[in-house]
Amino acid sequence: MLLRFVPRVLLCVLALLVGCSSTGSASGRTDGMATVRASQLPAEARETLALIDKGGPFPYARDGVVFGNFEGLLPRQQRGYYHEFTVRTPGSRDRGARRIVTGRGGEIYYTDDHYDSFRAVLR
């Protein structure tokens, strides 16, 4: 009886280890999402990250507003959990399509297509 029990315990331990492994994001919450290293982001996105780290000042009035996640592409959280910041787009006459979205848990996401897709930023 004990010999039949040991493989099950090992399988459970293995499942726990795989389920708890981090993917390298700020909080390990990429949930199978595409990722990008911060160093591989466009220069303007790295500038926005530096401003976020410093707490501003931000060039756009809407920087730091609550991001609603209406598209449902980010992990579901309560309203107010996510905030968005504009990534300057050279040549664009408006804010452009690029954004960084941050979560209260330290998550950082990047979109260059105005919320049609996201990549978790690895730092």
Beta bridge partners of 121: 36
Task: Report whether pLDDT(63) > 80.
Answer: yes
| Pairing mode, strands 35-37 and 65-66 | unpaired
Catalytic residue among 44, 47, 84, 107: 84
Beta bridge partners of 84: 65, 101
Q: For this structure, is 84 an active site residue?
A: yes
First to last CA, the chain: 48
Catalytic residue among 44, 47, 83, 114: 114
**Close Cβ partners of 14 (under 8 Å, ≥ 6 residues apart):** none
The stretch 12-23 carries a mean pLDDT of 39
Q: In which band, very low, low, confident or very high, does the pLDDT at 81 lie, cut at 50, 70 and 90?
A: very high
Domains and CATH numbers, the chain: 24-122 (3.10.450.30)
Q: For this structure, is 44 an active site residue?
A: no
Residue closest to 81 by CA, chosen among 108, 106, 103: 103
**Phi, psi values for residue 100, rounded to 5°:** -115, 130
